[in-house]
Structure 1
C-alpha cells in the first residue's frame, strides 16, 4: 500500500498505474489493492496482474518438508523456512513436523479469511493472470512415487525422498541421518502433484546440492535423479481449481473454465517453465495488457 501511494506521489502526469507481482508478490498486491478499496484509499491502478502466483496454493513435496523437519536438530534453517509465516500462508498442504498429517495450515486459513474480509479481489482495476504451465493438462514429466534424492554417504545412507504418489499408505520418504534409525513417511490421499502442469521449482535439486556441497568426510553425499517438481500448479496460478485431485491438476482447462476465473484475461505458457520465469511468450502478452 505504501509503494502504491509513493508511486502516485512520484508519478509525472496522471497515467493510470499497473500494480501486481510475481509469485507471492501477486498475492501481496492483490490484498493491498483490495484493502485500499475497502478503506476508501485511491490506488489509481487500472491493471492488476499476477505472474505465476499461487492463488489456490503452492506445493513443496511432503518428502522435502519431512526431511527438513527431521534434520532440524542438525540444521534448523530448512525447517524454519518451511514453517515460516510466508510458507504456511502459501502452501496448499503443510506439515510442521515430519510425523504430521499434511493439512491446511491455520496461517493459510487466516490469510484466506483476511482476503475475504477485503472482498477477495480488487474490483476497480482490470485483472489479468499469467501461469508458467500449460492449459492442456501436459505435465512436466516427473513420475509419481520414484526416488528423487538417495542418501549415499555414511551419515545419510537409508534416506530416500520420493516424488509424491497418489493413494494411501504408499511410501513417500525414508529418513535416516547419522545414528537415528530409519523412519518412514507414507501417503495420505494427496494427488501426484509433483509432475502436474505448472511452474516448476528445483526443490529436490536445491536440497541435493546443499548436501553434496558439505565436506565429504561428514558423509552427506546423495544422488539426485530428479531435481524439480511442480511448485505452482497452472490451475492455482489462474485461480481456476483447487489442486486437490489428479483430475483437478491434469484435466485440460476448457474455454468455459478460463472465462469463469476471477480474471478478465489469463495467459498460460505453451510449456512447463521454471516458476516465475520471464519468457518472450508471457512477457510479450503482459506488455500488451498495459494501460
Structure 2
C-alpha cells in the first residue's frame, strides 16, 4: 500500500471536524441526553440572537439576567450553551428560573468576531430587556469567558454614550480581564499545518483570539508578543472608562486564590508525534528563561523546525481555569486514523487558560511571582471588581459549579 500524498492528507484533514481549542464539559461527566427547553421567545438582534426563558411564575420579563456567550468559532448554538450552563456540574438555568429570574441567553452570529463587534449585540439585548421588563427590578448583565468582556464593554459603552442601561449588577465567569493563554507550541503547530488545513490557524488568528491572548504569534516562527488587535482593544477599553460605573462589579474564577497551581511542570514534553507524518514533533509546556524550547515541528517536512521563547513565565501550571489544549490536539490528530500517520502521544493534556489573577483583574500574568501570588494577600482595591470569588481547586475553564454559581445567584437583584 502506497503512502498517502500531501494532497490526499490535506483533503482528509479538511473533511474532518476542525481542531478547536474550546472548553467543554468535564471528560468524566455523564452524558445527559437532554435537549434544551424551547425558549419563551427569541429576539433577532444585530449580529446575534437572544433566547429568552421566563422565571417560574413570571408571565413576562420581571427579573432579567443577561448572559453573553463565550469564545468559539461560528455562530452560537443553543445546544452548546445549555450543555455548559445546564447539563454540566450544576443546572444554572433551572436554578435561576426556580428563584424567579428570567434568563436571557445572548448568542452571536460569529463567536470569534471582535469583542467590539459582539458588544453591539449585547447592547441591543440590554436595551430590549430594559424596554420589555415588567416592574422596576434592575438588570443583571454578564457572561462566561469572553462573554464577560463583551458585556463589560457593552455596559461601559452605553454609559459613555450616557444611555440608561438600568443594570445594577455586572458579573463575569472566568473572564480573561488581563488576558488568556494558549501555549506558544500549540499556536505554532496550528500555523505550521495551515498549508494542509487552515481552520486551526484561523481560530488562533481570529479577531477575538488576537484580542484575548496575552501573548500571540501570527506565524509558526513569529515572536510572541501583544498583538496589534489586543493593543487596540485595550485602548478602546480605556476610552470607555475600563469598567461600567453604575453597576456593582463581581466576578468568579475557575482557579484557586492561594497561589496553588496545577501539577503541570514547566518545560516538560506535553505532546509527541509518533506517526510518520508527525514523527519528531514535540510540544512543550512553557518554561521561564531566555532560550526555552516551546516546540519542535516536523509535519511532512524534510527537516524539523524549532520554536523557542524568551522571557515568558511558567504559565501552563499557573492557578486558573484549565483548558485541555494539548489533549484536544492529540485527540483530533489520533482520530484521523493510522493511514494518515498522525498518531501522537499526549503526556500532559491540560494547561492554564485564564490565570486566576486575570479572571479577577488583580495582576498582570507576566511573572511567576504574580501568577502564583496568594490573591487573598493582595490589596482588594487592586482589582477592577468590587467583589470576587475563587474556586477551591483549579478546574476546567468556564465549568459551571455550585460553588461559584450560587455565589453569583445570591448577589443578583
The TM-score, its normalising length taken from structure 1, stands at 0.98
Map Cα deviations across residues 215-259 of structure 1 (whole Å, 9 max, x no partner): 211100000111110000000001100000111101211344234
1:244 matched to 2:373: no
Gaps of 5+ in 2: 1-122
1:266 matched to 2:388: yes
Q: C-alpha distance in 1, partners of 2:213/2:145?
A: 12
1:197 matched to 2:319: yes
Q: C-alpha distance in 2, partners of 1:255/1:289?
A: 24
SS in 2 for 1:254: helix
Q: C-alpha distance in 2, partners of 1:51/1:262?
A: 14
Please give the residue correspondences for 1:219-234 in structure 2 after superposition, counting only pairs within 5 Å. Answer: 219-234=341-356
Q: C-alpha distance in 2, partners of 1:284/1:99?
A: 45
Map Cα deviations across residues 133-165 of structure 1 (whole Å, 9 max, x no partner): 111000011001111110000110000001101
Q: C-alpha distance in 2, partners of 1:80/1:29?
A: 24
Aligned to 2:401: 279
Please give the residue correspondences for 1:114-125 in structure 2 after superposition, counting only pairs within 5 Å. Answer: 114-125=236-247
> 1 or 2 for the larger relative contact order (CA 8 Å, sep ≥6)?
1
CA contact 2:277–2:340 (8 Å) conserved in 1 = yes
* Partner residue of 1:57 out of 175, 179, 193: 179
Aligned to 2:330: 208
SS in 1 for 2:143: strand
Q: C-alpha distance in 1, partners of 2:285/2:343?
A: 19
Q: C-alpha distance in 2, partners of 1:254/1:208?
A: 37
SS in 2 for 1:181: coil
CA contact 1:258–1:266 (8 Å) conserved in 2 = no
Larger radius of gyration: 2
RMSD: 0.9
> CA 1:8–1:157 in structure 2 vs 1: closer, same or farther (change >3 Å)?
same
Map Cα deviations across residues 63-82 of structure 1 (whole Å, 9 max, x no partner): 00000011110111111110
1:78 matched to 2:200: yes
Aligned residues: 291
* Partner residue of 1:7 out of 115, 129, 138: 129
Q: C-alpha distance in 1, partners of 2:337/2:315?
A: 33
Structure 1 stretches of 4+ with a deviation exceeding 6 A read none
Q: C-alpha distance in 1, partners of 2:337/2:302?
A: 20
Q: C-alpha distance in 1, partners of 2:327/2:131?
A: 44
CA contact 1:101–1:188 (8 Å) conserved in 2 = no
* Partner residue of 1:39 out of 161, 176, 179: 161
* Partner residue of 1:149 out of 271, 275, 279: 271
SS in 1 for 2:379: helix
CA contact 1:172–1:185 (8 Å) conserved in 2 = yes
Aligned to 2:94: none
Q: C-alpha distance in 2, partners of 1:258/1:227?
A: 33
CA contact 2:224–2:309 (8 Å) conserved in 1 = no
Q: Report the Cα offset of residue 260 of structure 1.
A: 2.8
1:175 matched to 2:291: no
* Partner residue of 1:23 out of 145, 162, 168: 145
SS in 2 for 1:107: helix
* Partner residue of 2:308 out of 182, 186, 192: 186
Q: C-alpha distance in 2, partners of 1:148/1:76?
A: 23
1:166 matched to 2:288: yes
Aligned to 1:68: 190
The TM-score, its normalising length taken from structure 2, stands at 0.70
Q: C-alpha distance in 2, partners of 1:185/1:135?
A: 32
